Structure 1
Amino acid sequence: MKRVLLTILILSACALPGCSKNSSTQSAAAAPKPKIIEVAAAKVRIEEVPRNVESVGTLLAYEEVTVSSEVEGRVEQIHADVGDYVTRGQPLVSVVPEELKYLLSQQEAALHQALNKLGLKDENSELKDDTEVPEVRKAQADLYDAEQKYKRAQFLFQTQVASQQELDEAKARYDAARANYDVTLHQVQNLKSLVRQYKASVALARKKLRDTQILAPFSGSIKERLVSVGQYLRVQTPVYSLVNTNPLRLKTDIPEKMAPWVRVGQEVQITVEAYPGQVFRGKVSRISPAVDEQKRTFMVEALFNNDQKLLRPGFYAKVSIATDKKDRVLLVPASSVLYTYGTNKVFIINGGKVNARDVKLGDRFGSNFEILEGVNPEEEIAVSDLEKLENGTQVSVAAK
């Protein structure tokens, strides 16, 4: 029995080292090897690029006005409503004209009466000589007759045929005729002034009658209707809001440091949320001569053709102004930049491993970013599978 137990103990002791060795071998075989990620790569390069001014702005109507009534009266008819396109001079509102027609007839009657006294046929006739007026011709004839009689009386008095009384009477009639002639000429001058006054009154009455048709001051679209049929209008009562949306104006604020870059006539590109991916082009039309002291910016205005009526006043726009300024900058593909936890990173490839590095971005040029800080020229960077990378990740560069 003792011999059997001894044999078992010896076999057990011999088996233990073998088991331990097999277990270590299996553990080593089970340990995962570091995974190598294949990535596309590019180099940081230096290029000369044109500088664009990037900003934001708002589109405005080229012209916008509130059309108001210039006469008092009741609205008889509405000719346009919201969204309608109207041309310059097109009727928008008709006001009842009856009362103004009566006023015009009254003023025309007074004018014609004054014209008849001057011997004129109509209001377009002009008086070239005051002596052509019938009353003046009559006063002139009376004066001539009195003067001749006075001269005869003087002759007869000198020849002692006429008495002193007859001479005095002839002189009195002559003086009265001259005074009447002078008064008549003065009356003609007053009558001519009165005719001018009546003509002005008639012209004003005609204008008021025309103003019963409220017309569009320019071609555009109705933004808002503020009046209804039957409403009584007073002078300056708003009736419509009218906008001209072709072209449209863009106003944007540009930092003062970019003032030397922007000039009238430069191309402006905008994008709006209503049409993602679509670029609208215009040109700089005006530049403010002053800088806002609070914001340290100056205003730039651009015009955009809007024949297709796609753009609308009030649209918020992202703005890019092409300039002649060029700089040599560091560029990397946009696909090489990973935004994470509030920072932008690129992955530098060195010795088969990547090193994550924070970078400071500048402007975007097409599919590339300008790098202001964080990389050096000719460094190799990963441009694919960035979300799989971290410091020390082993990578292989895919063949181009």
Structure 2
Amino acid sequence: MTARRALLALMLFSAGCTRHNEAQSAAAAGTEPRAIPITVAAVTIRPSERLVSFVGTLYGHDELTLSSQMEGQIKAIAADLGDHIEANQVLAEIEDDQLRARLREVEATWGKARADETRGRQLVEQKVISPQEYESMKTTVSVIEAQRDTLAVLLQHTQVRSPLTGSVAKRLVSAGEYVRPGTPLFALVADDPLKLRGDVPERFADELQAGQTVRVRVDAFPDAAFDGKLSRISPSSNRENRSIAVEALVDNHDRKLKAGFFANAAIVTRSDEEAVMVPQEALITFAGVTKLFVVADSIAHERQVRPGARTAEGMIEIVEGLRADETVATSGLTKLQNGASVAVKKPEDKQG
């Protein structure tokens, strides 16, 4: 690689010497240097975006396994694979007949205990019973109330409700199965928005900011683009592949996207509605320096520039070093030097 660069540098130097010698010879002969034939292109102004591309995988915004909180037989299943669900929606019911019967008994006992406490209050005021006996009545009421409340909570747990809005990823039980506390019932995913996770080369670290627009494409919908926002950026780089983990939230209100999809994504790190653009063939890059030739009054003026985003149409944004009203050379660049006389070819002469 070093030898090739040295050879290229030698060729450029030799070409420069040749052009310089030609100019000296022309001057000695009292003639003007021969104009170098070139083609040109006017600088164009168009919207431009700086994109940082990466690939990733879509995940649910939240993913969880919903488990039973009590023991009993599954009485009914109200949701299945792929169903859209709302938060607090009933997904399954556990047999509750025994609980309801027990609750009715406890409520009846509680009613009697409350009546005894009311009478006891009057009797203790009349000194018919002792304060200790009355306190015992109050304690009985409290104990029964605790039993009633516990049964009411257990009865609520017989209705298995979704804690999130999303979709059913898996149904793990069937009606008639006997479950215990901790038995997995459903795998659920919150799918709007989805999370896109991927890795960006570390050289783009200074361009990334939370909130930047992310454009996402998936194989399932090749003609569609989905918008998201960059939400998280890792504070450290992966030493093995020199990349930074990023996460974006992708809108999925129509639920076309699925958790697990592979995605191609591009982060819009900069947007300019009036970017200065030139054809890519107008640029020469050597040893990390990019330059072009601005043509004015049939003279080529060498100009160092800073390139930006590239477009699919072969245009390159010039971030610094070029004005919107200038014209650049697009051919014959290897023959040009600063101050060279040029002759602009007409369109019909380009192949000549």
Amino acid at match of 1:204: T
Question: What is the aligned counterpart of 2:122 among 110, 124, 134?
Answer: 134
Amino acid at match of 2:122: P
- Whether 1:216 aligns to 2:215 is no
After TM superposition, the structure 1 = structure 2 runs for residues 31-110 of structure 1, keeping only pairs within 5 Å, are 50-110=49-109
- Compute the displacement of 1:313 (Å): 0.8
What is the match of residue 262 of structure 2?
A: 316
Superposed CA offset, 1:117-145 (max 9, x none): 3218xxxxxxxxxxx81232132xx6xxx
Question: What is the aligned counterpart of 2:205 among 259, 267, 273?
Answer: 259
Amino acid at match of 1:273: D
8 Å contact from structure 1 (residues 46, 331) kept in 2:
no
- Whether 1:380 aligns to 2:328 is no
The change in CA–CA distance for 1:91 and 1:262 in structure 2 (over 3 A counts) is same
Amino acid at match of 1:68: S
- Whether 1:247 aligns to 2:193 is yes
The separation in 2 between residues aligned to 1:94 and 1:214, in whole angstroms, is 6
The separation in 2 between residues aligned to 1:319 and 1:42, in whole angstroms, is 35
The separation in 1 between residues aligned to 2:146 and 2:240, in whole angstroms, is 53
- Whether 1:297 aligns to 2:243 is yes
The separation in 2 between residues aligned to 1:277 and 1:188, in whole angstroms, is 79
- Whether 1:397 aligns to 2:350 is yes
Amino acid at match of 1:208: L
What is the match of residue 179 of structure 2?
A: 233
What is the match of residue 312 of structure 2?
A: 366
The separation in 2 between residues aligned to 1:98 and 1:281, in whole angstroms, is 50
8 Å contact from structure 2 (residues 55, 264) kept in 1:
yes
The separation in 1 between residues aligned to 2:148 and 2:192, in whole angstroms, is 39
Amino acid at match of 1:317: A
SS in 2 for 1:227: coil
Gaps of 5+ in 1: 1-40, 121-131, 143-180, 334-361, 372-376, 382-395
Superposed CA offset, 1:314-343 (max 9, x none): 11111111113899999627xxxxxxxxxx
- Compute the displacement of 1:88 (Å): 2.3
Gaps of 5+ in 2: 1-38, 282-307, 318-327, 333-348
Question: What is the aligned counterpart of 2:233 among 273, 280, 287?
Answer: 287
8 Å contact from structure 1 (residues 44, 331) kept in 2:
no
Superposed CA offset, 1:212-266 (max 9, x none): 1212222222211111121111112111112222221111222334232122221
Amino acid at match of 1:380: S
What is the match of residue 332 of structure 1?
A: 280
Amino acid at match of 1:59: L
Amino acid at match of 1:303: L
Tell me the number of residue pairs that the alignment of Structure 1 and Structure 2 aligns: 262
8 Å contact from structure 1 (residues 83, 222) kept in 2:
yes
The change in CA–CA distance for 1:194 and 1:263 in structure 2 (over 3 A counts) is farther
The change in CA–CA distance for 1:398 and 1:306 in structure 2 (over 3 A counts) is farther
SS in 1 for 2:125: helix
Amino acid at match of 2:350: V
- Compute the displacement of 1:294 (Å): 4.6
The change in CA–CA distance for 1:363 and 1:208 in structure 2 (over 3 A counts) is same
The separation in 1 between residues aligned to 2:159 and 2:65, in whole angstroms, is 16
Superposed CA offset, 1:32-74 (max 9, x none): xxxxxxxxx8879999965322111111112222122112111
Amino acid at match of 2:270: D
Alignment RMSD, CA only? 3.7
- Compute the displacement of 1:378 (Å): 4.1
The separation in 1 between residues aligned to 2:207 and 2:219, in whole angstroms, is 27
What is the match of residue 111 of structure 2?
A: 112
8 Å contact from structure 1 (residues 57, 253) kept in 2:
yes
The separation in 2 between residues aligned to 1:101 and 1:296, in whole angstroms, is 61
The structure with the larger Rg is 1
SS in 1 for 2:118: coil
8 Å contact from structure 1 (residues 45, 332) kept in 2:
no
SS in 2 for 1:56: strand
- Compute the displacement of 1:269 (Å): 0.7
Amino acid at match of 1:51: R
The separation in 2 between residues aligned to 1:56 and 1:47, in whole angstroms, is 31
More helix by share: 1
Question: What is the aligned counterpart of 1:275 among 210, 217, 221?
Answer: 221
The separation in 2 between residues aligned to 1:42 and 1:236, in whole angstroms, is 74
The separation in 1 between residues aligned to 2:110 and 2:240, in whole angstroms, is 62
The separation in 2 between residues aligned to 1:187 and 1:296, in whole angstroms, is 77
The separation in 2 between residues aligned to 1:290 and 1:192, in whole angstroms, is 62
SS in 2 for 1:224: strand
The change in CA–CA distance for 1:200 and 1:253 in structure 2 (over 3 A counts) is farther
